A and B are shown apart, each in its own frame.
Chain A
Amino acid sequence: MNKEAILKDINSKFEKDIISLLDKSPTRVYIDIKPEAITKITPYVFRNLGARFNIASGVDCRYHMEILYHFIIEDINLLISFRVKLDKKKALEIDSITNIIEGANWVEREIHELLGINFKGHPDLRKLLLPDEWPEGVYPLRCDYKEWDKKAIRDRGV
């Protein structure tokens, strides 16, 4: 399948879940989807299209949290990024895709501790990069994080 066929296929299969589609360049596509659709789209992209899961990157925007799921289809040199926007007024949570792709395990753990997004159904949401004694509810990649916050970085007697 070439790029046009794949985009057409995604469009027709997940018509209700796609909010918008941006065809940025020959090798890059950004697709905005509804948060609840990620567990539907991921198996299709991963298994049927043979894509590899690169990474998910979380961004703290003013009114919403954004997660970008990057998938690359190496056969045709196409990078598809699925954008999910989580409203900050509601609970920050999304379904986990670790049950579909084992490689997403650490990625979700990282976003969970750095941005405070809860991944529903993740088998093991322990801390990955931050120390165990890091205080609860302090997320370093959020915009409102203060670097030398006393609550955040405690004197550990070093």
Chain B
Amino acid sequence: MAKRTIVPIGPYHPLQEEPEFFTLTVEGERVVDIDVRVGYNHRGIEKLSEMKTFDKATFVIERICGICSTSHPFAYTRAVEDIIGVEVPERAKYIRTIIAEGERIHSHLLWLGLAGHFLGYNTVYMWAWKLREEILDVMEILSGNRNNYAMFKPGGIRRDIKAEDIPGVVKKIDSIVPTLTMLKKAVIDDPVLHARTKGIGILSKEDSINYCALGPTARASGVARDIRKDCPYGAYDKVQWDMIVTKNGDVFDKAVVRILEVFESIKIMRHCLLNLPSGEIDLKLKSIPPGEGVGYIEAPRGETFHYVRSDGTNRPVRHKVRAPTFMNLPTYKATVVGETISDATIILAAIDPCYCCTERVAVRNIKGKKLYNGEDLIKLSQQKTEKLKDKMK
């Protein structure tokens, strides 16, 4: 039997939240087994939320994630509205959609930039993050914040969009489309990126269904599921847009789904801004009756699911939060096994979890001769790209 080596990855990485700890078992270059340990950042938010009033809980759960900070309040407010059985006013629905789509754009661009960085394509990284800045500026105009927008409350939204802001915002969104198109071509047509990401880390359709994978991870494997289309909420059923589905399930397809989704999101955001209905933005809810409700929405990484139970007091008795990465993470078992270590970094990154894994890596063989850290692993990955580039010249 070949010599097996254990490669620990983790447990903490400051680049993105959610630290994880991977144990890769490798034979030479090949990964033969993987185990994941999470919970280093377990803050007990479900318990904490049960101690807050329904209004205050919105702020607590907004802090679950810094990148998709809107998806949790969105799902939570829908769950609370489901308990009462009300629909929010039309204008609130549109504004909720605008905020959620803006978040999707910046989240996907963030992922694209980081993926480029880990493959040794710092140009992609710089371009994607430059575009992301524009979107963050737009979000600042609309909500007052670059992140953690605090726009949501049970029964409506907290802050209205001013009519005089809209033309400037639409102009700004339109201005990023040409650059984004260029970036799309640069990524999708690049032969080196093809060589690095095509056929790598394949998640088959069967596995995707069995692991209950969500969002872009599932759609890249040919599972045509999107909560925005299947179970419309907000203003998604009033806008023309396409669901992006590819069928290979490799890293390349996951990137393609995300890039093309950015264009769809821009389309949705633009339409909603230009067709914003007038009227109330808040139902001014007085009390929450006893009962239970669920809310689920499509966050940038997949479906976010909240379950809230009320006993008639001003606090939830149970608040269950399920973030999309919770279902997407276990798919590593299906994608990483059989690949090489230098590809593991990008496969682990492809579901868009957090890169917490890649930086603090130590690779040891049994005799303890080699010792790599996270930077070495990124270097290893970048060197592979360089080699491929030389070959293609």
Bound CA–CA A54/B231 (angstroms): 14
* A131 close to B44 (CB less than 8 A): no
B333 to chain A, nearest CB (A): 8
Q: Mark A130-152, 1 if CB is under 8 A from B, else 0.
A: 11000000001100000000000
* B294 close to A103 (CB less than 8 A): no
Closest to A126 in B: B37
Bound CA–CA A82/B212 (angstroms): 18
Residues of A within 8 A of B320 (CB): 55, 57
A64 at the binding interface (Cβ < 8 Å): no
A contact set with B: CB distance below 8 Å: 25, 27-28, 52-55, 57, 59, 68, 70, 72, 74-75, 77, 79, 81, 101-107, 127-131, 140-141
> A27's contact among B44, B225, B231, B330, by CB below 8 Å, is which?
B231
B contact set with A: CB distance below 8 Å: 38-39, 42, 44, 46-47, 82, 85, 207, 209-213, 225, 227, 230-231, 294, 296, 303, 305, 307, 309, 317-318, 320, 322, 326-327, 329-330
A75 with B230, Cβ < 8 A, contacts A53-B212, A103-B330, A141-B47 known: yes
> B42's contact among A25, A28, A53, A129, by CB below 8 Å, is which?
A129
Residues of A within 8 A of B209 (CB): 52
10 A-B interface contacts by CB (under 8 A): A27-B231, A52-B225, A53-B212, A54-B303, A54-B305, A70-B294, A102-B330, A103-B212, A104-B212, A130-B39
Q: Is the interface of B mostly helix, strand, loop or mixed?
A: mixed
A131 with B318, Cβ < 8 A, contacts A52-B225, A74-B230, A101-B210 known: no
A143 to chain B, nearest CB (A): 9
B70 to chain A, nearest CB (A): 20
* A140 close to B230 (CB less than 8 A): no
Residues of A within 8 A of B317 (CB): 59
A-B CB proximity, top 3 nearest? A103-B212, A129-B39, A57-B320
Residues of A within 8 A of B42 (CB): 129-130
Bound CA–CA A107/B210 (angstroms): 14
* A59 close to B47 (CB less than 8 A): no
B180 to chain A, nearest CB (A): 29
* B322 close to A54 (CB less than 8 A): yes
Bound CA–CA A81/B296 (angstroms): 14
Residues of A within 8 A of B294 (CB): 28, 70, 79, 81
Residues of A within 8 A of B211 (CB): 102-103
A63 to chain B, nearest CB (A): 15
B142 to chain A, nearest CB (A): 29
Residues of A within 8 A of B85 (CB): 25
Closest to A77 in B: B231
Residues of B within 8 A of A141 (CB): 46-47
Closest to B223 in A: A52
Closest to B231 in A: A77
B154 to chain A, nearest CB (A): 17
Bound CA–CA A28/B231 (angstroms): 12
* B38 close to A129 (CB less than 8 A): yes
Residues of A within 8 A of B296 (CB): 54, 72, 79
Bound CA–CA A104/B207 (angstroms): 13
* B326 close to A101 (CB less than 8 A): no
> A106's contact among B46, B47, B330, by CB below 8 Å, is which?
B330
Bound CA–CA A140/B209 (angstroms): 31
Q: Could you say which of A54, A105, A131 has the most chain B C-beta atoms within 10 Å of its C-beta? A: A54
A89 to chain B, nearest CB (A): 21
* B47 close to A77 (CB less than 8 A): no
B297 to chain A, nearest CB (A): 12
Closest to A145 in B: B47
Residues of B within 8 A of A102 (CB): 207, 210-212, 330
Bound CA–CA A127/B102 (angstroms): 36
Bound CA–CA A57/B303 (angstroms): 16
> A70's contact among B210, B307, B326, by CB below 8 Å, is which?
B307
Q: Could you say which of A70, A129, A131 has the most chain B C-beta atoms within 10 Å of its C-beta? A: A129
A32 to chain B, nearest CB (A): 13
Bound CA–CA A52/B296 (angstroms): 13
Residues of B within 8 A of A27 (CB): 231
